[in-house]
Structure 1
Amino acid sequence: MKSLTILVVVACLIAVICGYRNPNTLEWADYAYNIDDGNCRGTRLIYEDVIKNADPYTVKKTTYNWDGRSMYHITCVRVHNRMPHDTRAAEARVTKGGVGQSEVKIEMISKNSEGLHFIVEIWGEEKYGSSQNIGLLMGSPDQNDRVLYVGKQKYCMCN
């Protein structure tokens, strides 16, 4: 039993020294006042205000999700804080996807008793070059089935 206790203590010390972090734990070091990631080329797909009003003794937290449904890859993610840059300003982080992916998840959090106000911009390019690569293949005249192709991949069956 004594050796088990020593083993647990040693494991804890190693975790602390090596900087182990639980990925589900909120760490302020992961957040930023603004996010400017990537090269904003292609089409601006999203330009949206995200606002949460302040409530006393409350931290506001919201998540913004965008999914390009595998038709776009993201070239740029901008999350610009509209609050004054001081110790009470809300902050944001990308928690999933982002530049080079077809989706992004952005988490925004306020400080206690403060609101948040961000402008979210997402830029992207079509994965398959241009819209000329979109085609609809119809079944025989007596069938009502249609297949939508994007690039060379089947996107959906329509009827």
Structure 2
Amino acid sequence: MKKIITTVLACFLIAGCSSTPKTENASCSYTQEGLMTATYDLKAENNEITVLSLKMIYDKAMFGNIDFATITEEEKAQMIDAILSQSGISEDMKGVKTTVEIQDTIIATIEMNLKEADPDTLKNLGFDFSNTDMSFDKVVQDMKDQGFDCK
């Protein structure tokens, strides 16, 4: 009887361990002419990307070296609204979160939960993943091949 119980418990333990998803993360960055840095943060389960985050950091030189510390909160809010409306992003997009911060630079972040976001919405934002191999290993390798520094 002890052997049967031990065997059954061992099977449950092995089954429980094998169902744990393998998670992976990568961060891939590229700087263009010192004015803008794009960083993609990827999260994956079982080699399938589940969350894709794009962070764009714009140097103030792109805006005529404006000292962002001297602009008013109202002007910052107007800049943030302009950035978001130009990108086509609205607050009611399921699976898509955005933030824009203005400090010494402008940092715009788009986080897409690929399990929740509507593919047509992503396509309208310029992220068309249809007919694309979105496996974690493939995307990271493709980004490295395009000159991104991935960690």
Question: What TM-score results when the alignment is normalised by the length of structure 1?
Answer: 0.28
Task: Report the structure number with the largest CA radius of gyration.
Answer: 1
Q: Which structure has greater strand proportion?
A: 1
Question: What TM-score results when the alignment is normalised by the length of structure 2?
Answer: 0.29
Q: Which structure has greater helix proportion?
A: 2
